[in-house]
Chains A and B, each alone.
Chain A
Amino acid sequence: MRRPGNRLTTLVLGAAVLCGAALAGPALAKDTVVIYTAIESEQITEYKKAYEKALPNLEVKMLRFSTGDISARFMAEKDNMQADVIWGVAATNTLIFKNAGLLEAYAPKGLERVQPLFRDKANPPSWVGIDIYMSAFCVNTEVAKKKNLPTPASWGDLTKPVYKGHLVMPNPHSSGTGYLSVASILQRMGETEGWKYLDALHQNMAEYTKSGSKPCKDAAAGERAIGVSFEYVALEMKKKGSPIEMVLPKEGSGYDMEANALTKKGAKNPAAKAFLDWAISNEAMALYAKYFAAVGVAGFPVPEGLPKDISKVVYPNDFDWSAKNRDRILAEWQKRYAK
């Protein structure tokens, strides 16, 4: 069987394209670069001002979704690639892109300044990390007091029956934060114990959200008592006036890295490379460092409220394992907890 009606379709393409061209193509005077990103939108706002100033001749078309969603979209478009640049998407996922052959190795200018941990081992690297983010609990103290909930200190605490219905965490399918938490638990406890733990956690879970920051924002709004999220949102919500306390679990937080990469499509686009060069510049790193404890280039001050040395609070992540097993873990997760 063939696809229905191909010949007829080809016949009318002319009209359709005319129509499309008329609407779609306001003259492309600037160099256009299409960027897929999972960076928090508030941060993008900040970064945007900077890159617009630094790269005035660049017309940036950006698509932002949660890590899992943007990755799924990028993967789905692999035969018809739209993105030139991957910017700030979890290293785990970037690794998957690399393994799928969707990336073009590229050494952005100034690569030598980036700490070894933050870059793909190949040379030139397929991806370069820019910052580290880690799982953190957001506890709404007001709600907790009203509901008589003790402040949890560890992953283990979260499975206590007292929290039933008060927890919310991101769906690892769509959210990078969600996946790094699940992956870290499985790496730390081993798969058998890990899944047992997740089963218990599921009993207490009110909802799995699409985005990684939403659990914390829900907690901040008082909608939920405790959100499993990541450290930046926790601080941000507290700053904005919500009664939020950030908890880094004592077993160690899971972590991942936001990474940049050049796509196969972007390989032919000089503007894409220009953007990637800027994205690890000192200017960019200084901006990342306003939100994250550890960024690609060492020596930037750590934001208020975050641990000075994150290696003390995170549980080490085996990126290769996380990337290789992602599909399998997600399938298992889906089977167990999707409704």
Chain B
Amino acid sequence: MAVLRADRAIPDSVVRHRLDGETALRYLLIGLFGLFLYLFVLYPMAKVLWRSLLDNDGAFVGLANYVRYFSTPAIAASITNSLYVSVVAMVVTVFLAFLYAYALTRTLMPWRGVFRVVAMLPIFAPSLVQGIAFVYIFGNNGIWTRLTDINIGVYGAKGIIMAEVFYCFPHAMLILIAALTATDARLYDAASALGASRLKTFRTVTLPGVKYGLMSACFVVFTLVITDFGAPKVIGGKFSVMATEIYNQVVGQQNFTMGATVSVVLLIPALVAFVVDRLIQRRQYALVSSSAKPLEPRKNPLAEWSLFAYCFLIAASIAAVYLVILVVSLVERWPYRLAFTLKHYAFDTVGGYTPLLNSVYVSALTAVGGTAIVFIGAYLVEKWRTRASAPLYALSLLPVSIPGMVLGLAYIFTFNVPGSLLNRLYGTLAILVISNLIHYFTVPFLTATTSLRQMDAEFENVGSSMGVPFYKTFWRVTVPIALPSIIAISMYFFLNAMVTLSAVVFLVAPGTELAAVAVLLMDDAGDTAQAAAMSVLIIATGLMVRFAYGGLMRGVTRRTQAWTATATDQVALMGTGSLK
């Protein structure tokens, strides 16, 4: 082992290599990546923080805004409301999703594939779609209410929680499926050899094994709910949460200062959840050894059929939600005129199909540009260690903890500045692309990093030893090997950009309306049938794109099968385009 020997004076600096064109290019690219993150992450966030310390006229007031926020009962209530809704939705979602994931991974019950697919549906819909559906089902004049005459009082916390549970269900389910799959059958063999009862085995083997998965699911759901804006907007009624409060402060009252203040407060729980989640994930690696045996579920008719009934119920409810949306969009006037019509799809009131086309265009640009920036950025950070690597890595992880609304607001502060060159971006599709790209930056970045880390660290060195420029090796070796991850990343970007609302709602401008925002505005204006129709189109687009990507992935996998057997393993995690 190398040892510490302080007595010899070895200079701290290293002998510098002559700066050749290649190295210069690399530094330039690293610099550009750094500037990109600075300009679109760090600088805007600093602006929000700074803005929360100013009054509406731009004078520095210290923490006065925070004092006002916490001392105005009407606004401060949004904090406790947000926490309440998030915690309840978290507990319910994780509980339901755990049972569901357990049934899918640990039993041989029929229809497992169908159940899995159906449970993924909410990923393809903006969160407010769930809200709209629940109004149609449990609203004062909803199907359920009309049929049973029982009004559950859906407007408010109850409705928000229900909508969020549906919205977050697939995200929690995916994490828990991964956790339940990564187990060691030998533990179960040992437990049964020791004569442990089913319940005891569950308590002493199953639960501890998925402990980290459960925690991770909790944090993901908590963050999704507390930062979500769509569902509370649609179904919250008078119940105000922090995300809607930001929207009301900013859009309704153009009170940017209070918007910034609420934003900074909203950052805290999201940031905490993120940090804890990272710490947990770091620990989970050690849990399953490489010699682990996968668990083969055993037949158990009683448990299977009860779990089948449970999954059927959940899957049917999820399917019902989207069926309601579909039906509502196709009838004349729910619930008074039920004749079939396509007129709600004409969108003759709101710029026609422009928002949808814009959305597809923006999503495609996000997919292409985001994938390129994320992958090249991760490559530069991971493969060319410099002093900038650690800060760039940290900056790349930061976006996941920035709620979309906060990012959008930060971009207003950054780009809506008269006379600034940055102002050129304001009101363009480009800024929507960038905000999506940053909003969903971290998960793809981590995927790219993982995929790059799995590659031999010496590829670049082999190339440069033979005088092959790094960009050629990147293009001929790194990219082809990482192709499955790259495809997964671009799909993740596309699908998320298609449904996101919070990151773009402040940034749309005349001519750059997006589909999800159109849903919001139509619902706001009371045109719910059209909102449902637009939702159907968003979901349909997402499903088609997902389908196309599935085909693409199969093609790539087939082609790469010749040289690798493990090309798809990490795609499983992102394959659905979920996990924010």
In the complex the two chains form, is A41's CB within 8 Å of B350's CB?
Answer: yes
Whether A1 is near chain B, meaning CB under 8 Å from some CB there, is yes
Cβ distance A145 to chain B, nearest Cβ, rounded Å? 13
Chain A residue contacts of B252, Cβ below 8 A = 68-69, 72, 171, 173-174, 210
Residue of A with least CB distance to B140: A223
Binds B, one of A126-134, A191-199, A237-245: A237-245
Indicate whether A241 sits within 8 Å of B337 (C-beta atoms), given known contacts A20-B430, A79-B418, A214-B525: yes
Residues from chain B with Cβ under 8 Å of A45 in the complex: 348-349
Is there an interface contact between B421 and A217, defined as CB atoms closer than 8 Å?
no
B349 in contact with A211 (CB, 8 Å): no
Complex Cα gap A16–B433 (Å): 12
Residues of chain B in range 415-432 having any CB-CB distance to chain A below 8 Å: 416-418, 420-431
Q: Does A117 contact B (CB under 8 A)?
A: no
A residues near B336, Cβ cutoff 8 Å: 222, 241-243
In the assembled complex, the CB of B443 is this many whole angstroms from the nearest CB of chain A, namely: 23
From residue A175, how far is it (CB to closest CB) to chain B in Å?
10
State how many residues of chain B have any CB contact under 8 Å with chain A.
65
Is A221 located at the chain interface by the 8 A CB criterion?
Answer: yes
Query: Which chain A residue shows the least CB distance to B529?
Result: A221
- A277 to B399 CA separation, bound complex (whole angstroms): 48
Q: Are B421 and A3 in contact (CB under 8 A)?
A: no
**Any B CB within 8 A of the CB of A24:** yes
Within the complex, what minimum Cβ distance (angstroms) separates A279 from chain B?
A: 17
Q: Is A56 an interface residue (CB 8 A)?
A: no
Q: What is the minimal beta-carbon distance from B229 to any residue of chain A, in angstroms?
A: 13
* Residues of chain B contacted by A76 (CB below 8 angstroms): 254, 256
Report if A286 contacts B (CB, 8 A): no
Residues of chain A with a CB closer than 8 A to B238's CB: 206-208, 339
Q: How far is the CA of A15 from the CA of B38 in the complex (A)?
A: 13
Is A214 a contact of B524 with CB atoms below 8 Å?
Answer: yes
Residue B46 at the chain A interface, CB threshold 8 Å: yes
Interface size classification for chain A:
35 or more
Q: Does B528 count as interface, using CB distance less than 8 angstroms?
A: yes
CA distance A165 to B420 in the complex (A): 49
CA distance in complex: A56, B527 (Å):
29
Interfacial chain B residues near A224, Cβ < 8 Å: 140
Residue B310 CB within 8 A of the other chain: no
- Which A32-83 residues sit within 8 Å CB-CB of chain B? 34-36, 40-42, 44-45, 61-66, 68-69, 72-73, 75-77, 79-80, 82
Task: Point out which of A80, A82, A220, A334 has the most chain B C-beta atoms below 10 A from its C-beta.
Answer: A80
B102 within 8 A of A: no
A 16-27 binary contact with B (CB < 8 Å = 1; else 0): 110111111000
Interface 9-mer from A5-13, A298-306, A313-321: A5-13
| New A-B pairs, 20, CB < 8 Å, besides A12-B35, A211-B526 | A9-B39, A16-B424, A16-B425, A20-B430, A20-B431, A24-B424, A34-B510, A35-B510, A62-B351, A65-B521, A68-B252, A72-B251, A72-B254, A80-B423, A82-B510, A207-B155, A213-B526, A214-B524, A221-B526, A339-B240
Residue pairs across A and B with Cβ atoms less than 8 A apart, 15 shown, are: A11-B35, A15-B35, A22-B430, A24-B429, A24-B430, A36-B510, A62-B510, A66-B525, A75-B254, A82-B427, A173-B248, A214-B525, A218-B526, A221-B139, A222-B141
- Which 9 A-B pairs have CB atoms at the shortest separation, nearest pair first? A217-B526, A222-B141, A24-B428, A61-B510, A13-B421, A72-B254, A23-B430, A41-B349, A80-B418
